């Protein structure tokens, strides 16, 4: 059941807010969105849940399925998910973000680029992530630790609960309810563990003016809020869903084939035997014979009345290798990612590199739109209007790019030339221009 901002207001009106906060956390933990976010975290940590739960089975004579403990069970998890969302995030945000207005970046703090990257990465991983602007710093809330309350009328985020707990069975739960007019802190009630919460700090404003005196110490002399909730959601794409959706089946198929190949190599002893004149053996006796051979690799046979003929066995390699290459290419293609193998062989021109990047550029346009909307909402909390700009992080034939740039240098001003140079990041441009101006002033004075 989706709980909305209107449900929160009803709980406040009816005087059951504290109990409501605990109920919301419990429902959020059991929601499909939360479980998908947890699964995405596992794939991000290269603990692919499907391959980690895989087991090899056999059927006995009664038809019951049993785990085959004699068979190899390698579980090789690929790193596709983390690699692809890292590539998409660093492609747009690896060089940080700049603005079309002066002095905007200074007001966001030194850690804004790294915090923004974390918000964007979580948005790709979980489908949505949340940024809390706390006076001078951007704090990141993930789907696995934040309960959003959406407005039923316009779908905007109007409130939310951040919660955390080191161990739900042994340690207390902490929670903070964020509303437009302030935030309230909660903790598990004394002597209880779980979601039986109590208020530990009453509602206070987001911004406080504190005066310090030697006689009285710190004293709050003023409080203010932003007028709106200072928590902004960022989405990873227009569908507002995790990048794992649609990619998971292909990743699981790749992992299962790769693991199965390794298992077959271990299980195949390169030689197997056909036993002649053994029709008197019952099925349990044959099974016992095979189990001893698998475990001990030595069995005793009556060769006078029977025969054992060895045969070599080869694991099919070419078909599996072709399938793995094909599904890996399809993962890159469907996600709109850049596959380095496409331009790895030989010297390629800038045109060929640009063609290889075309799908990724198209996906980056959609992703950067989500980032721009997020940043502009953060700037609006401070009363600032500016447009963020990105310098995409890509491999290139830099020699060819620089040669073309030098040929058109007489038609460009210094700032444009520096911004187009592939060796210079956007943050370096103002410093270089300032040094050039200083050197020009010195030359003018000397002359």
Answer yes or no: do 204 and 305 share one domain: no
Domain span at 170: 5-80+96-235
**Considering the domain boundaries, does residue 135 fall inside one?**
yes
**Considering the domain boundaries, does residue 151 fall inside one?**
yes
Q: How far apart are CA 382 and CA 178, in angstroms?
A: 18
Answer yes or no: do 401 and 287 share one domain: no
pLDDT of residue 130: 97
Answer yes or no: do 131 and 266 share one domain: no
Answer yes or no: do 436 and 298 share one domain: no
Beta partners for residue 217, in sequence order: 213
At 367 the three-state DSSP class reads helix
**Considering the domain boundaries, does residue 88 fall inside one?**
no
Helix 80-93 × helix 318-335 angle, to 10°? 30
Nearest to 174, CA basis, from 15, 11, 21, 7: 21
Q: Are 251 and 52 in contact (CB under 8 A)?
A: no
Q: Give 188-247 pLDDT, tens digit per residue.
A: 887 777 788 999 999 999 987 666 666 666 666 667 888 899 999 999 998 889 999 989
Q: How far apart are CA 138 and CA 114, in angstroms?
A: 10
| Number of domains the chain is built from | 3
Answer yes or no: do 189 and 59 share one domain: yes
**Considering the domain boundaries, does residue 332 fall inside one?**
no
Eight-class DSSP state of 145: G
Answer yes or no: do 279 and 219 share one domain: no
**Considering the domain boundaries, does residue 112 fall inside one?**
yes
**Of 299, 315, 331, the domain-final residue:** 315
**Considering the domain boundaries, does residue 254 fall inside one?**
yes
Q: Give 237-257 pLDDT, tens digit per residue.
A: 988 899 999 899 999 888 888
Answer yes or no: do 255 and 136 share one domain: no
127 phi and psi angles, rounded to 5 deg: 100, -35
Answer yes or no: do 50 and 119 share one domain: yes
Answer yes or no: do 191 and 262 share one domain: no
**Of 315, 336, 366, the domain-final residue:** 315
Spell out, as residue ranges, where the chain has pLDDT lower than 70: 1, 54-63, 65-73, 209-222, 261-280, 293-317, 343-350, 395-401, 404-405, 422-423, 425-427, 440-442, 444, 447
């Amino acid at each position: 059941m989706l709980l909305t901002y209107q449900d929160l207001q009803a709980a406040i009106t009816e005087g059951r807010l504290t109990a409501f906060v605990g109920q919301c956390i419990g429902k959020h933990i059991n929601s499909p969105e939360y479980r998908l976010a947890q699964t995405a975290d596992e794939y991000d940590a290269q603990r692919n849940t499907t391959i980690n739960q895989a087991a090899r089975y056999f059927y006995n004579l009664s038809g019951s399925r049993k785990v085959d403990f004699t068979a190899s069970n390698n579980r090789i998890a690929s790193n596709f998910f983390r690699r692809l969302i890292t590539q998409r995030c660093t492609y747009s945000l690896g060089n940080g973000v700049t603005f079309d207005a002066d002095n905007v970046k200074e007001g966001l703090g030194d850690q804004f680029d790294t915090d923004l990257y974390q918000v964007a990465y979580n948005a790709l991983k979980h489908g949505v992530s949340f940024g809390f602007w706390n006076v001078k710093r951007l704090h990141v809330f993930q789907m696995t630790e934040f309960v959003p309350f959406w407005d039923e009328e316009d779908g905007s985020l109007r409130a939310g609960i951040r919660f955390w707990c080191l161990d739900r069975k042994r340690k207390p739960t902490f929670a903070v309810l964020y509303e437009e007019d302030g935030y309230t802190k909660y903790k598990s009630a004394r002597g209880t563990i779980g979601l039986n919460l109590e208020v530990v700090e009453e509602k206070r404003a987001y911004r406080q003016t504190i005066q310090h005196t030697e006689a009285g110490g710190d004293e709050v002399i003023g409080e203010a809020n932003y007028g709106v909730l200072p928590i902004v959601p960022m989405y990873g794409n227009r569908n507002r869903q995790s990048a794992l959706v649609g990619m998971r089946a292909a990743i699981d198929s790749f992992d299962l084939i790769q693991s199965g190949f390794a298992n077959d190599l271990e299980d195949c002893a390169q030689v197997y035997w056909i036993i002649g004149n053994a029709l008197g053996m019952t099925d349990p006796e044959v099974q016992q014979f095979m189990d001893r051979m698998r475990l001990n690799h030595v069995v005793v046979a009556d060769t006078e009345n029977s025969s054992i003929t060895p045969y070599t066995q080869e694991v099919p390699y070419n078909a599996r290798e072709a399938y793995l290459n094909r599904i890996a290419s399809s993962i890159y293609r469907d996600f709109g990612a850049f596959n380095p193998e496409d331009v790895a062989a030989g010297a390629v021109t800038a045109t060929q590199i640009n063609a290889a990047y075309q799908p990724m550029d198209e996906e980056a346009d959609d992703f950067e739109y989500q980032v721009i909307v997020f940043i502009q909402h953060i700037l609006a909390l401070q009363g600032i209007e500016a447009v963020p700009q990105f310098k995409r992080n890509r491999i290139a034939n830099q020699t060819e790019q620089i040669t073309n740039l030098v040929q058109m240098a007489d038609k460009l001003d210094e700032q444009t030339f520096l911004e187009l140079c592939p060796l210079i990041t956007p943050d370096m441009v103002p410093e270089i221009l300032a040094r050039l101006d200083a050197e020009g002033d010195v030359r003018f004075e000397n002359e």
